[in-house]
Chains A and B, each alone.
Chain A
Amino acid sequence: MVDLERDLQLLRRDVVVPDTPDIADEVARRMAARAPAAKRARLSPRAALALAVLAALVLAAGAVAAIPDARHAVLRALGLEGVTVERVATQPHAPVAHTLRIGQPVSLERAAREVSFRPLVPRAVGNPDRVAVSFEAAGGELSLVYAPGRGLPRSRFTGVGLLVGELRGDLNPDLLKKAVGPGGRIRTLAIRGHRAIWIAGAPHELFYANAHGGAGVTKARLAGNVLLVQRGNVLVRIEGEMKLKEARRIAGSLRPSASG
């Protein structure tokens, strides 16, 4: 059987291999379906003007506006990419996370090399005690973890003092979903000119959608008070047992990492 390998090579020309379907088209379609809603939808000039006026009012006033408590109101139009906030009629019931699933522990320097954005570090609380990177989100997701102490009480939802999450909102328009029940408060505000949403009061539910365009949810957990801030194309989540004033102070101190 010395000719076996040669015969196998000849066999290649005879065997039917299915034609390759147009995978590129379908992949592009699924990627486009995840593109930011603002880029996808062509707004009429009047609607665009109305949105611009609304955004200007919100930002210029630095307003803290309560969102109407409409059932199932999807609040994506608030201008934050990477997250949708939804009012739900019943109190969320997702489990409390016993272990934070935030990916591989890395140094901040390495994280800066691996994610596709420049990490932001809240100078008000110094360098994080732990840094992790995961790639469930396109472009990577960075987590900065601060241990309890130094004015940061242990969160009953994360087990840590402060959790700061960062990801490319423009690449992951529908990745995060927050379901806020009747006891939760949602407010829009501006922090140093950056759009932000504050969710506080009763715990809310945090979902990660299937990050790569498929259906379903990959993980869900209860979350406590959180401030979401849009910094360029990066969506920053600041979660901890804190009041708005402290969350604002932390968000206002976000600066690009020196290692980025």
Chain B
Amino acid sequence: MGDRPLSEGRLIVRARDGDQRAYRELVEQNQTIAFRVAWAITGSAADAEDAAQDGFLKAFGALPRFREGAPFRPWLLRIVANEAHNRRASTERRGRLALRVAEERRADDAVPSPEAALLDSERRDRLLAAVSRLGDRDRLAIVCRYLLELSEAEMAAAMRCRPGTVKSRLARALAHLRREIGETDG
């Protein structure tokens, strides 16, 4: 494959022609975001790993359908997200995504950075609890946008909706979150 790293486009072309090493590079480049999206959907690291693996394998088979020049990540995430949604729908234990704060972060609170100081632990815990109480669809929108920092196209893939509806979905999720916090504040 040479010393010079291949562009994503070249890797896709090679993988589409059956080059498994090229596909492995694509997997390595995208496995973290794919796993996290699957985790946000299934609420389980084990299910997320399975869904991401199956998604990558399906995506390899579907590469001939990939439109050359189109953004790869949203296309891939849609396949992985489908796997994750299906897994969640079929699993007996449909646990909610458990969001928690890292212990080391709690320890860091002793010497907060200027930014961290703005989100004190009490507010942070209240916000986490409110996000956790949201319905699946709202919580997924919030997690994708603010915790995973996905683009609109990627959010649409993760939420299985059209890119044009991402903004309204997110606005609705924020409104519900505000209400949740308002209720707890009140």
Contacts and interface: CB of A to CB of B under 8 A. Distances in A.
Interface of B is mostly: helix
Contacts, number: 136
Interface string A211-238: 1111000000000000000000100000
B61 A136 contact: yes
B18 A135 contact: no
A95 B149 CA distance: 49
B16 to A, nearest CB: 6
A24 B27 contact: yes
B171 to A, nearest CB: 11
A99 interface: no
Interface string A1-41: 10011111111111111101111101110111001000000
A145 interface: no
Given A12-B146, A31-B57, A31-B60, A17 B36 contact: yes
B61 A15 contact: no
Interface of A: 1, 4-18, 20-24, 26-28, 30-32, 35, 114-116, 135-140, 168, 170-171, 211-214, 233
Interface of B: 16-18, 20, 23-24, 27-28, 31-32, 34-36, 39, 45, 48-49, 52-54, 56-58, 60-65, 99-102, 105, 115-116, 118-119, 123-124, 127-128, 131, 142, 145-147, 149, 174, 177-178, 181-182
28 contacts: A1-B181, A5-B174, A7-B118, A8-B145, A8-B146, A8-B147, A11-B127, A13-B116, A16-B99, A16-B100, A18-B35, A20-B36, A21-B35, A23-B35, A24-B31, A27-B24, A27-B56, A28-B24, A31-B20, A31-B57, A31-B60, A114-B64, A116-B64, A135-B65, A138-B18, A139-B16, A139-B18, A212-B54
Instruction: Name the 8 nearest CB pairs between A and B, nearest first.
Output: A8-B146, A212-B57, A18-B45, A138-B61, A23-B31, A10-B119, A24-B27, A20-B32
